[in-house]
């Protein structure tokens, strides 16, 4: 049983790669962004709170996200991939406590490294293919990347100090990147 974190900037390929690996290894794919978009779509109380942050490219408050993840992790009967979580130092610390509580651990943190120009190009392209509102406005994309650099990137150091971090070049063919990830976790 493997528990993994997929880490990277908006557009780095976390979702693309996590979906493939979760299917092949029979893991639960926990994408906090996808979960939030379902809440928004269903116009739940949580969705209404989340929407105002997401459409600006800001992070949804930590407590909301942490309880959402805990609800899944505590009932997990197989390994999981966290995609888009943790995204702040308080989220990383909360995850740590949560894992201790349920006697679980993270095996590896896969960091998909992609330069900013490529991220922006991918998200603008996706804006035309899919209906994600946070991809439509270049200013919102810019803000998501800035928020990542300020609040999320520092989380990497936390995992580096625990010796769990694997950096993967996230530029290139999707299948080549997938192979590199599989090599890294074996």
Catalytic sites, residue numbers: 14, 87, 126, 132, 144
- Residue 88 CB, shortest distance to Mg ion, in Å, is 17
Out of 11, 92, 110, 181, name the contact with ligand AP5 by CB under 6 A.
11
E strand segments, the chain: 3-7, 28-31, 80-83, 108-113, 165-169
Report if residue 60 touches ligand AP5, rule: CB under 6 A: yes
65 binds ligand AP5 (CB under 6 A): yes
Residue 183: count other Cβ atoms within 10 Å of its Cβ: 10
Supply angle C-alpha 179, 181, 153, rounded to 5: 145
Q: Could you give the CA distance from residue 59 to residue 137 in angstroms, rounded to a whole number? A: 17
Q: Is residue 95 within the footprint of ligand AP5 (CB under 6 A)?
A: no
Place of tokens 């995992």: 159
- The span from the CA of 183 to the CA of 4, in Å, is 14
What mask, x for binding Mg ion by CB under 5 A, covers residues 3 to 22? ------------x-------
- Work out which of 20, 53, 156, 165 binds ligand AP5, going by CB under 6 A: 53
Where does this chain bind ligand AP5 (CB under 6 A)? 8, 10-16, 32-33, 36, 53-54, 57-60, 65, 84-85, 87, 91, 122, 126, 134, 144, 172, 174, 177
């Amino acid at each position: 049983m493997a528990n993994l974190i997929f880490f990277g900037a908006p557009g780095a390929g976390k979702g693309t790669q996590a979906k493939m690996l979760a299917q092949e290894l029979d893991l639960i794919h926990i994408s906090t962004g996808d979960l939030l978009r379902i809440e928004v779509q269903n116009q739940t109380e949580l969705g209404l709170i989340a929407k105002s942050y997401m459409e600006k490219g800001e992070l949804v408050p930590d407590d909301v996200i942490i309880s959402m993840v805990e609800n899944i992790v505590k009932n997990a009967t197989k390994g999981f991939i966290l995609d888009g979580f943790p995204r702040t130092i308080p989220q990383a610390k909360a995850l740590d406590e949560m894992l201790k509580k349920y006697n679980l651990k993270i095996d590896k943190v896969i960091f998909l490294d992609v330069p900013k120009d490529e991220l922006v190009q991918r998200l603008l392209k996706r804006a035309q293919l899919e209906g994600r509102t946070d991809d439509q406005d270049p200013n919102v994309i810019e803000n998501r990347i800035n928020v990542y650099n300020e609040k999320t990137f520092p989380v990497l150091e936390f995992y580096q100090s625990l010796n769990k971090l694997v950096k993967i070049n996230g530029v290139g063919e999707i299948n080549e990147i997938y192979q590199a990830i599989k090599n890294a976790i074996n």
